[in-house]
Amino acid sequence: MANSSAQKPLSVYLYIPNIIGYIRILMNCVAFALCFSNKKLFSILYFISFVCDGLDGWFARKFNQVSTFGAVLDMVTDRVSTACLLVILSKLYRPSLIFLSLLALDIASHWLQMYSTFLSGKASHKDVKDSSNWLLRAYYGHRYFMAFCCVACEARILTTLLVLDAVKEDSLLSFVVALSLFGWAIKQVINVIQMKTAADACVLHDMKRR
């Protein structure tokens, strides 16, 4: 029994989706090390890491390897990656406060959502079926809509880093940028809504305790 118990934590660490998470972290480390010297390679590595973010969830469901550690690893990797990217943009473009404000919103929104989920006893921060906001329910309730918003958000940030000048000369690229801007805007609105509803949940928890 002792050996069996000792092996359980190791087996979770070696879940396929968690291994994908470790690979994402390594790719991001290499990407950010090259972010100023080779922007194209940085963007390729960063985007592959982002694609893997969708794959780890699929593997978790496919092989029944869903874990709390994996969920936390996934969210922390996402938030740190986005934070680092926005910090880089704040160094390259002005006013930097725009990118730092987006960083603050992203962290505050997701941290509050995770904490309110913990207080309510839910298994996942994506469980918003009881939310009164239709957009938040649509975002977490429809996988393709959420994927579009997330991809658009990352694509919008990367195009800011890479092809700001080329956009004016390429109509197809201009359309892609416009589409990504639409998804990015929806994602920011959802972040604000999520932050507010999560804060309300924390306040409601305090009221119930009293």
Active site residues: 78
Q: Which of 209, 157, 175 is nearest to 42 (CA)?
A: 157
In the chain, DSSP assigns E strands to: none
102-139: buried (b, 16+ CB within 10 Å) or exposed (e) per residue? bbeebbbbbebbbbbbeeeeeeebeebeebeeeebeeb
3-state per-residue secondary structure call for 72-108: HHHHHHHHHHHHHHHHHHHHHCCCHHHHHHHHHHHHH
Residue pair 110/76 in contact by the 8 Å Cβ criterion: no
The backbone torsions φ and ψ at residue 37, rounded to the nearest 5 degrees and listed phi first, read -90, -30
